């Protein structure tokens, strides 16, 4: 009985720390932003596969470890190229608006070919993944790159120069280890986006892994009883970096989450300058009238992705108005309209 009540008390002691989680809010391809849906909402067309909730995936054998909780195929597959820069902006909270809440654990990025299937119809459970980036502890080992994400930073990878053309899923994953001092405590936040790689590369991955399958609950990078000990050296789970690993990868300055959702309507339109206004019009688009993310309905949305310039053009004006990632990040500092990122003071208290 003593032991039981001791357990109960320690549970109570831990309980107040639950609840701060998050999701992938936006990706950018060479500076063109594509917004993601809030978890469980169908707000508009996106290349990011929508998850059902901000909570983590628990357990390496969980089928949701592939692309996140109940991830659904996305309507858009957006253009990119070998050597493109892909930027991931994570958010905290069910409705976004705060920064990523965790700071201990790695970020890893994988890619997988959609083969001959349009990525909007591709079943990720059969994907053959290769690892293109991984960022764990910073030099010196006392802080993690994930701590930069908690500060609001984005994460960027520059794709291999010889990637073969075609559809790919790109899977950016954060593992948060604050509870991984117990086996099964690691929190997995995988997120997948759909890219159409152009160009004429011929690179093929030398080896691939599956999710679930690539990790085990007892991997030294997943069950980390010593993670808070001085001198702890992190060991990444999963495969080594692929022969098609990213040219470079790092945390990068914050990108404001303000892209319009692509209309999903084939209206490459005579007047590109009005595209942004059109896509911000409420609910006029068939895609928002029929947001349904089930594989069958994403087939209906497929024409939108083959009309890739649509999403490109509807966001291009916003993007060009703000310039490149680097320029935009600087602008953010003085941009009062950075509405989905709260002040640091607010964020700190949210966790
Ligand atoms: Cu969390």
CB of 101 within 8 A of CB of 189? no
The verdict on residue 4 lying in a domain is no
The verdict on residue 240 lying in a domain is yes
CA of 101 to the centre of ligand 1 (A): 6
Of 184, 207, 179, nearest to 110 by C-alpha is: 207
Of 12, 96, 85, 126, nearest to 253 by C-alpha is: 85
Query: What are the CA-CA distances from residue 175 to residues 27, 77, 139, 217, 329 (Å)?
Result: 19, 26, 19, 12, 25
CA of 159 to the centre of ligand 1 (A): 28
CA of 171 to the centre of ligand 1 (A): 19
The verdict on residue 302 lying in a domain is yes
Residue 97 falls in which region: left (phi positive, over 0), alpha (psi -120 to 50) or beta = left
The verdict on residue 199 lying in a domain is yes
CA of 20 to the centre of ligand 1 (A): 4
CA of 70 to the centre of ligand 1 (A): 17
pLDDT tens digits along 283-314: 333 333 333 333 333 333 333 333 333 333 33
CA of 77 to the centre of ligand 1 (A): 28
pLDDT tens digits along 48-82: 999 999 999 999 999 999 999 999 999 999 999 99
The sign one gets for the Cα dihedral 249, 251, 253, 257 is: positive
Q: Give percent of the chain above pLDDT 70.
A: 69
The verdict on residue 243 lying in a domain is yes
pLDDT tens digits along 157-181: 999 999 999 999 999 999 999 999 9
CA of 188 to the centre of ligand 1 (A): 9
CB of 146 within 8 A of CB of 106? yes
d(C-alpha 94, C-alpha 290), whole Å: 23
CATH code of 189's domain: 2.70.50.70
Give the count of domains, the chain. 1
CA of 18 to the centre of ligand 1 (A): 7
pTM above 0.75, yes or no: no
Count Cα atoms within 13 angstroms, Cβ side, for 25.
28
Of 148, 146, 137, nearest to 231 by C-alpha is: 137
C-alpha Rg value of the chain to the nearest Å: 20
Segments forming the whole domain that contains residue 56: 16-281+296-350
d(C-alpha 298, C-alpha 126), whole Å: 18
Alpha helices in the chain (DSSP H): 2-14, 145-150, 275-280, 286-289, 295-306, 308-322, 325-334, 344-350
The answer on pLDDT for 151 being more than 90 is yes
pLDDT of the residue at 280: 37
The verdict on residue 250 lying in a domain is yes
CA of 260 to the centre of ligand 1 (A): 27
For residue 98, give the 3-state DSSP assignment: strand
CA of 351 to the centre of ligand 1 (A): 8
CA of 235 to the centre of ligand 1 (A): 21
CA of 76 to the centre of ligand 1 (A): 28
The answer on pLDDT for 340 being more than 60 is no
CA of 24 to the centre of ligand 1 (A): 13
The verdict on residue 1 lying in a domain is no
The verdict on residue 339 lying in a domain is yes
Give the chain's mean pLDDT: 78
CA of 30 to the centre of ligand 1 (A): 29
d(C-alpha 196, C-alpha 166), whole Å: 5
């Amino acid at each position: 009985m003593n032991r039981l009540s001791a357990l109960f008390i320690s549970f109570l002691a831990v309980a107040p720390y639950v609840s701060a989680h998050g999701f992938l809010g936006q990706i950018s391809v060479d500076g063109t932003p594509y917004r993601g849906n809030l978890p469980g909402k169908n707000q508009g067309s996106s290349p990011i596969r929508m998850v059902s909730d901000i909570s983590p995936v628990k357990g390496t054998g969980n089928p949701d470890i592939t692309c996140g909780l109940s991830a659904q195929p996305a309507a858009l597959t957006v253009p990119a190229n070998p050597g493109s820069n892909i930027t991931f902006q994570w958010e905290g909270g069910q409705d976004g608006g705060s920064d990523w809440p965790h700071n201990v654990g790695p970020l890893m990025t994988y890619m997988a070919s959609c083969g001959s299937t349009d990525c909007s119809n591709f079943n990720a459970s059969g994907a053959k993944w290769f690892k293109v980036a991984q960022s764990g502890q910073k030099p010196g080992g006392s802080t993690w790159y994930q701590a930069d994400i908690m500060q609001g930073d984005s994460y960027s990878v520059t794709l291999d120069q010889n990637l073969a053309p075609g559809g790919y899923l790109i899977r950016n994953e954060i593992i948060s280890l604050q509870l991984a001092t117990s086996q099964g405590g690691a929190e997995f936040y995988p997120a997948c986006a759909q890219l159409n790689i152009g160009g004429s590369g011929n690179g093929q991955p030398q080896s691939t892994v599956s999710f679930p399958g690539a990790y085990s609950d007892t991997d030294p990078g997943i069950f980390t009883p010593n993670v808070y000990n001085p001198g702890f050296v992190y060991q990444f789970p999963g495969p080594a970096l692929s022969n098609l690993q990213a040219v470079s990868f790092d945390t990068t300055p914050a990108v404001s989450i303000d892209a319009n959702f692509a209309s999903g309507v084939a209206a490459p339109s005579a007047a590109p300058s009005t595209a942004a206004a059109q896509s911000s019009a409420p609910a006029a688009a068939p895609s928002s009238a029929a947001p349904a993310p089930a594989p069958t309905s994403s087939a209906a949305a497929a024409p939108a992705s083959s009309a890739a310039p649509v999403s490109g053009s509807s966001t291009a004006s916003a993007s060009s108005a703000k310039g490149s990632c680097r320029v935009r990040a600087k602008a953010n500092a003085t941009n009062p309209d950075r509405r989905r990122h709260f002040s640091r003071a607010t964020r700190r208290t949210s966790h």
